[in-house]
Amino acid sequence: MFLSAEFHPFRLPSPGLWLDIFQKVKAMGFSGVSFYHMWALLEGEPGHVRIDGVFALEEFFAAAKEAGIYLLARPGPYINSETTGGGFPGWLQKTKSQLRSTNPEFLNAIKPYILEVGKIVAKAEITKGGPVILLQPDNEYTLCSESTGILDMSNCLDKQYMAFVEETYREAGVTVPILVNDALPLGNFAPGTGVGSGDIYGWDFYPFGWGQPPCSNPQNWTRSSLPYPAYLSLLRNISLPTSPRSIVEFQGGAPDAWGGVGVEQCASLVNQDFERVFYKSSYSLHVTLFNIYMTYGGTNWGNIGHPLGYTSYDAGAAISEDRQLTREKYAELKLQGNFHRASPAYLTAQPNEDSKGIYTDSSVLLTTPLLGSKTNFYVVRHDDYQSTNLTRYSLRLSTKIGNITIPQLGGSLLLAGRDSKIHVTNFDIGGIDLLYSSAEIFTWKRTGNKSTLLLYGGMGETHEFALPKEIGVLTDPENENIKYSNAGKAQIVQWTVGKDRVMLSFGKDLDIYLLWRNEVYTYWTLDLPSPEPLGRYTSPSRLNSSDASRSSVIVKAGYLLRSASIRNERLYLVGDVNATTEIEVITAPLGCCKALSFNGRDMESTFIDGRLTATVLFEAPEIHLPDLAKMDWRYVDSLPEIQNGFDDNSWTLCDKVASNNPRVLTTPTSLYASDYGYHAGSFIYRGHFMANGNETALYLQTQGGFAFGHGVWLNSSFLGSWPGTPEASATNHTLMFPRPLVRGSRYVLTVLIDHMGYDENYYNDINPMKAPRGILEYSLSGHSDASSITWKMTGNLGGETYRDHSRGPLNEGAMFAERQGYHLPGAPTASWEERSPLQGINSASVGFFVTTFTLDIPAGYDIPLAIELHGPMSVAGVKDKSSNFRVQIFVNGWQFGKYVNNLGPQMKFFVPEGILDYNGDNYLGLTLWSLDGMGAKLEDVKLSYDVVVQSGYSKPKVVQAIEYEKRV
Ligand code: IPT
């Protein structure tokens, strides 16, 4: 089973931390990771594909392999993924052709990138010793904008386009199977459907949607339907029986937008209950490729996001943006991942639509059976998937011991609201037949002549299982925590789940742990390293192996266990604790493990009831964080453009009288930023004109994507601003001149526009990605001819010939400080004015504030740090959103935050270790743009952390990137 977590290397540009994520995914029992790569970051300059530095994939592949994770590569060219342009480089705006079509111009545009990224992926294929086992070309090449029904949703698709993308990947050397994903199960490009068809078909499913705003009111589940198991007949028609049933993206989180409710609400919307109900229901369809989007979201640093999202791409995923495991939904995934890893019979079982009334005695429950040649699985949930009722039921099963109704020893089973159970019959646990179990299986393991099985249930639930009489009888049948019967055809055990675990032994053959679900959250199964090619990869063979080099261990610990290995009868564990933690080895290869080491330290270990145990002390470190608000800050004006005599000689003249953009030009020359090669961050326009004395106002239409803003000046006078709303992608603005202009004098307009990213290109017959950014239209009263204004503009210095190849083409915008490279470490700040962002600026302008600070974070701890910005407070201690200002946060040159005081909601910006030097000097720069005439200031700026983890992670190296050099 390819049970997979979606995780994007480009959203965590600190390569030394990739292993951390892979290990956390592997620790859930998952076997795979699916990743996008983002073309816009890799070919900012047309014809120059640069997949190096933090954008290189080799270290990503090495880390996946080290953790034992197989990869599904999804390098586009189109990815969607809430990225600017859906991953398309901005320069595609300048092309004439329909995007995602066979127009030669478009094919020529994508080919060099596909060949280059394809070559890199091909080198990492499993057949060459790498982790890559699948490749997905493009993304959801499925939908047409104007479809009238399910039948014509895909009628705009050009199958030759898909074929071209696939063939080009093949030409690059890719040999692994090609997986195609459909936005809906429509059957596009399913194997055997002719031109462009892939080797494996899959579709994507977001029951709660990804539209706006999904995260408010997270308890409300009335947003979807769960069309299972009715879907089954559809899926059978679409895909071949020989092809794994694949859900390439299943909802694992939800996004939040500007002005939104915050990512924690998204985590509660798509929470552990959602995972239980929706994921288990998906398994009931016999899905064997299942990828959860997102499992680790990361960060939209450096302008990589689209306009509907802000800097955090946490997405409420199982692993939070700061890489931590504090959400219960992570633990639930671990239960499911371990179940799959321990249930090879699932792979050959077949689902069946038969449902209500057959298996349970309850009319409100739905049961979907998966029937195997021996083992059966029964997935039970409320038919009304939103139901929060407590439903008692019994289950009718046909087993080796006949047709029975369980529980047999009295009482009833319980489904508590938004939950789902996978009950089993005839389940093999290392040669022993578990005849049935209502309690769910966490995992099992055979070592020597003994099997160990871990079962769990929710608090207060009654569960029952049965075992053959042939195996050893229960050693302690009078156990007060259980009901036991050996009277009939089998040994039957019933227990009601409480906090304390129950341990049972059946002679010498079998140990069973009966656990409360929340206790299982602290149990980990770790694959021991094996010789190549198995390495640490998942394999069912580990279940039955006593051979230490092909086996795995089950260990109870705490916060996280990452890896295990055995040397000289000592078990070496690597993991993380956030409190003093008891470690207990539940199973290990026979003969192994007389002693225990944790994170390289030998522990004082003892045997308790035959199990090796030790205690890891949590030692709280001393952490001294600099008080940023009190640091020595330097300031430089970052809008010199509004000063008299500013020289814009070297700026780009907006002289293009034609544009390929689909929006028809309504200005004498194009003012679309993309026509001049500017695609990220912000833009500044300077409009020169000679006054005739009749001017009273300027009309502007600007477009920067949702939540954008603009500011407008005439010479040095502020005319006004548009502070932005989450709903407006463009705005019309008439700005009155404060006083009459002097006839015959030259004036200059300065317009600063924020750019929130290009729109995505989800539909395939239109080109929303090409919606231009910049000034769309203008008029100057008193001038009938718009060409009386001569416009110049700038974006990031150099535009497509961008300067900073380490941080990529999108990290910089148009602001003076960015163009000068003042955001980069080493900038000549010594002569700048002493002023802090808490003093701020006192007019509508842009100020650039910098400070340096030193960190000395103790080794052995993972302490994710954030930079918090606090806007002004109004009297009641409530945030004052009426102050309109925007801040960009540059950490050692990397733009790791975009703060909009009047929209919010993000105030806390995580910056990964590696981007921050945890044991050295750091350079912090803030662009502070006041859209109000009275200026703006911060109330506070600080470094903060939420968790302190004593960690076995590998400390990441500080990311190397270019430093300040004088720019012309
Ligand atoms: C799906 C995209 O494939 C993926 O890139 C990401 O954008 C995801 O959505 C979450 O928004 S498209 C899906 C909404 C059908």
Over residues 386-391, mean pLDDT: 97
Nearest CA to ligand 1 atom 9: 81
pLDDT value, residue 527: 96
Q: Is the CB of 136 under 6 A from ligand 1?
A: no
pLDDT above 70 for 212: no
Q: How far is the CA of 184 from the centre of ligand 1 (A)?
A: 11
Rg of the chain's alpha carbons, rounded to an integer? 30
Alpha helix (H) ranges present in 172-258? 231-238
Q: Is the CB of 184 under 6 A from ligand 1?
A: no
Counted residue by residue, the chain has a size of 968
Pairing assessment for the beta strands 70-76 and 32-36 based on DSSP bridges: parallel
Q: What is the pLDDT of residues 679-734, one digit of tens each?
A: 999 999 999 999 999 999 999 999 999 999 999 999 999 999 999 999 999 999 99
Q: Is the CB of 249 under 6 A from ligand 1?
A: yes
pLDDT value, residue 550: 86
Q: What is the pLDDT of residues 502-515, one digit of tens each?
A: 999 999 999 999 99
What is the share, in percent, of the chain residues with pLDDT greater than 70? Answer: 99
pLDDT above 80 for 875: no
Q: For domain 640-794, give its CATH number from 3.90.1150.10, 2.60.120.260, 3.40.50.2300, 3.90.1010.10.
A: 2.60.120.260
Q: Is the CB of 6 under 6 A from ligand 1?
A: no
Nearest CA to ligand 1 atom 11: 210
Q: How far is the CA of 228 from the centre of ligand 1 (A)?
A: 21
Nearest atom, ligand 1, residue 251 CA: 10
pLDDT above 90 for 591: no
Nearest residue to 682 (alpha-carbon basis) of 760, 756, 772, 792: 756
Q: Give me the residues paired with residue 305 across strands.
A: 83
Over residues 852-862, mean pLDDT: 98
Q: Is the CB of 205 under 6 A from ligand 1?
A: no
Tell me whether the CATH fold assigned to 2-321 matches the one assigned to 628-636+815-951. Answer: no
What's the CATH number for 523-556+559-620?
2.60.390.10
Nearest CA to ligand 1 atom 12: 183
Residues marked as catalytic: 140, 249
Phi, psi angle pair for 230, to nearest 5°: -60, -30
Q: How far apart are CA 154 and CA 147, in angstroms?
A: 8
Q: Is the CB of 754 under 6 A from ligand 1?
A: no
Domain boundaries along the sequence of the chain? 2-321, 523-556+559-620, 628-636+815-951, 640-794
Over residues 375-383, mean pLDDT: 96
Over residues 64-72, mean pLDDT: 98
Nearest CA to ligand 1 atom 13: 183
Q: How far apart are the first and last CA of the chain?
A: 56
pLDDT above 90 for 165: yes
Q: Is the CB of 80 under 6 A from ligand 1?
A: yes
pLDDT above 80 for 211: no
Q: How far is the CA of 576 from the centre of ligand 1 (A)?
A: 33
Cα–Cα distances (Å) from 582 to 404, 555, 556, 585, 593, in that order, read 41, 10, 8, 10, 17
- 668 secondary structure, DSSP code: S
Choosing from 7, 10, 140 the residue with most ligand 1 atoms within 8 A of its CB, the one to mutate for a pocket test is 140
pLDDT above 90 for 358: no
Q: Give 878's pLDDT tier (boundaries 50, 70, 90).
A: confident
Q: Is the CB of 293 under 6 A from ligand 1?
A: yes
Q: What is the mean pLDDT of the chain?
A: 96
pLDDT value, residue 774: 98
pLDDT value, residue 881: 82
Nearest CA to ligand 1 atom 7: 81
Q: What is the pLDDT of residues 25-46, one digit of tens each?
A: 999 999 999 999 999 999 999 9
DSSP 322-380: TS---SHHHHHHHHHHHHHHT-GGGGG-EE----TTTSBS-TTEEEEEEE-SS-EEEEE
Q: Give 354's pLDDT tier (boundaries 50, 70, 90).
A: low
Query: Domain 2-321 falls in which CATH fold?
Result: TIM Barrel (3.20.20)
- Contacts for 543-551: CB closer than 8 Å, 24+ residues apart: 543/342, 543/344, 543/430, 543/444, 543/445, 543/446, 544/430, 544/446, 545/446, 545/589, 546/446, 546/447, 546/448, 546/589, 546/590, 547/589, 548/589, 548/592, 551/447, 551/589
**Amino acid at the residue 381:** R
Q: Which of 139-148, 235-244, 794-803 has the lowest mean pLDDT?
A: 235-244
pLDDT above 90 for 229: no
Q: Give 148's pLDDT tier (boundaries 50, 70, 90).
A: confident
Q: Give 213's pLDDT tier (boundaries 50, 70, 90).
A: low
Nearest atom, ligand 1, residue 204 CA: 15
Cα–Cα distances (Å) from 193 to 163, 188, 244, 477, in that order, read 12, 8, 16, 60
What is the share, in percent, of the chain residues with pLDDT greater than 90? Answer: 92
Among 234-248, 457-471, 535-549, top mean pLDDT goes to 457-471
Q: Give me the residues paired with residue 420 across strands.
A: 381
Nearest CA to ligand 1 atom 6: 81
Q: How far is the CA of 76 from the centre of ligand 1 (A)?
A: 13
Q: How far is the CA of 60 from the centre of ligand 1 (A)?
A: 23
Nearest atom, ligand 1, residue 205 CA: 15
Choosing from 206, 248, 250 the residue with most ligand 1 atoms within 8 A of its CB, the one to mutate for a pocket test is 206
Q: Which of 60-64, 352-356, 438-442, 810-814 has the lowest mean pLDDT?
A: 352-356
pLDDT above 80 for 431: yes
Choosing from 80, 266, 313, 769 the residue with most ligand 1 atoms within 8 A of its CB, the one to mutate for a pocket test is 80
Q: Give me the residues paired with residue 19 across strands.
A: none
pLDDT above 80 for 473: yes
Q: What is the pLDDT of residues 657-679, one digit of tens each?
A: 999 999 999 999 999 999 999 99
pLDDT value, residue 146: 85
- With beta carbons less than 8 A apart as the criterion, state whether 593 and 554 touch: no
Over residues 207-218, mean pLDDT: 83
Choosing from 293, 306, 308, 763 the residue with most ligand 1 atoms within 8 A of its CB, the one to mutate for a pocket test is 293
Higher pLDDT, 4 or 214: 4
Residues 6+ apart with CB under 8 A from 148: none
Q: How far is the CA of 402 from the centre of ligand 1 (A)?
A: 47
Q: Which of 546-550, 727-731, 793-797, 898-902 has the lowest mean pLDDT?
A: 546-550
Over residues 540-553, mean pLDDT: 88
pLDDT above 80 for 447: yes
Superfamily in which the 628-636+815-951 domain is placed by CATH: Galactose-binding domain-like (2.60.120.260)
pLDDT above 80 for 356: no
Q: How far is the CA of 517 from the centre of ligand 1 (A)?
A: 32
Evaluate the omega torsion of the peptide bond into residue 533 and state whether it is cis, within 30 degrees of 0.
Answer: yes
Over residues 136-159, mean pLDDT: 92
pLDDT value, residue 19: 98
Q: What is the pLDDT of residues 248-292, one digit of tens each?
A: 999 999 999 999 999 999 999 999 999 999 999 999 999 999 999
